Amino acid sequence: MSGVIVDVPIGGLHEKAVMRMNDRIVIDPRIQHGKPVIKGTRMPVYIILAELAGGMSHEYVKREYDLTEEDILAALQFAAELIEQEKHYPLQSTA
């Protein structure tokens, strides 16, 4: 991900935030409580992913939320990159 860490002043406090994850995804503590959104909107990435996971088509999501195909693909790319950066550990068996 090509994010930039910046200090964002909020109510006299400074919070670190990744402001731009790619050309279409932004994270700003002042928008949707810092959840990743499509740039220039208040549309959270998680809603796009949830709609697609629930079986909605790209066409439906574009029409329903006034998004572009590039917005949807950016949301999918964001999720893929986020998962790729995660560390996964096997669960310990309690038996």
**Predicted confidence (pLDDT) per residue in 49-89, tens digit:** 999 999 999 999 999 999 999 999 999 999 998 888 878 78
Q: Which residues pair with 7 in a beta bridge?
A: 16
Phi, psi of 82 (to 5 degrees): -65, -45
The predicted structure's pLDDT at residue 20: 52
Residue 83 · residue 77 · CB < 8 Å: no
Residue showing tokens 């310990």:
92
Mean model confidence pLDDT for the chain? 81
* Both tokens assigned to 20: 């731009």
Amino acid at 42: R
CATH classification (class only), 5-85 = mainly alpha
Domain ranges of the chain: 5-85
